[in-house]
Amino acid sequence: MAEGFRIPTENPAFTFPRDYGSHPEFKIEWWYITGHLRDAAERRFGFQATFFRYAHQAGAVEVATPFGTNQLFMAHMAVSDIEEERFFHEERLNRDGWDASAAIDDLNLKNGNWSLVRLSDGSMELQAGIGSDVQLQFNLEPVQPLVFFGKEGLSKKGSEPSACSWYLTYPRLRTTGTLELDGKKLEVSGESWMDHEISSSQLGREQVGWDWLSVRFDDGEAMMIYILRDANGIPDPHSTLAWIERDHTLHHVGPDQFRWTSSNVWKSQETGSTYPIDVLVEGMRPDGRPFSFTVKPLMRNQELVGELGGISYWEGACDVFEGNRKVGEAYMELTGYGKSLKESL
């Protein structure tokens, strides 16, 4: 239930740069970036940066104080060192004003010394560190237009009116900058994917989690899939595959028009959760040609163990193959395999 918070509606009249920023009249919001990077020697890395905002009470009026009481800000940061098979991650949870904030007039997010800010040229700057092991500073420049997933701007997640979001995405961000690892600063470059979702209740009543995939194909096309699962693993009818053509034309199909099959699992030694990795995705392209893509993680242990928020999930860099030919890069997210997300979202 949305508990009095505003519910996303069809045909939203977005105004930018304001709508890059925060929407405190909604309960839940996140800005989420995943990407593949390489250094000068072609050493590969994956990364994830997510900034979350949660509101406690709808319509709450903040007392004039430096420290807010109605907004909580969580953030997750992760780096996958593919060559060494090392996974670095950290999570943070702060109250509004204590050490975190989200501007409402433009993209300007902060959680401790982590930040994501839109610059005057339209690019974004991400700065963060993971413990004493990793420091990063990336510039992210949109090279494809903003995409609005869903029907008329509304992404339905279930049959209840509140189970929905406004879903804004930059499928391709040219990413450059520095990654400092083991005391050595590396110049890296690659591409990233950015989601911004605005909601008040992401999941339906019977849903416990989702499988999500974003693919940037080498030929310039892109694909996004989310499969919303119940406790028996059955996909909700509102699960979706979205295909973005090179001319930015967007196509959506439901779960009866594509297949998602796992051929292997990985069990976490830390949480005991078992995640279905090594995925086969089959369906039809917008032009009617069939496709069959194999999604292969670049390393198996890419689990973010949730110690502050209590939610652990697998989020990893993958390659995509058609037969034996690599055709793209992807990030895959697998949630709800340990603890249901229903109460949190």
CA distance 137 to 117: 12
- Residues 257-304: tens digit of each pLDDT: 999 999 899 999 999 999 999 999 999 999 999 999 999 999 999 999
Whole-number pLDDT of residue 11: 87
Q: pLDDT higher for 131 or 152?
A: 131
Model pTM score: 0.93
Tell me the helices (H) and strands (E) count for the chain, helix number first: 0, 23
**Could you identify the residue written with the tokens 């999570």?**
91
In this prediction, residues 303-312 reach a mean pLDDT of 82
pLDDT at 345 over 60: no
pLDDT at 343 over 60: no
**Where are the domains positioned within the chain?**
18-334
pLDDT at 340 over 60: no
> Is the four-CA dihedral 193, 53, 273, 299 of positive or negative sign?
positive
CB-based contact 136:179 (threshold 8 Å): yes
Q: Specify the CATH architecture of the domain 18-334.
A: Beta Barrel (2.40)
CB-based contact 191:174 (threshold 8 Å): yes
- Residues 212-254: tens digit of each pLDDT: 999 999 999 999 999 998 887 788 899 999 999 999 999 999 9
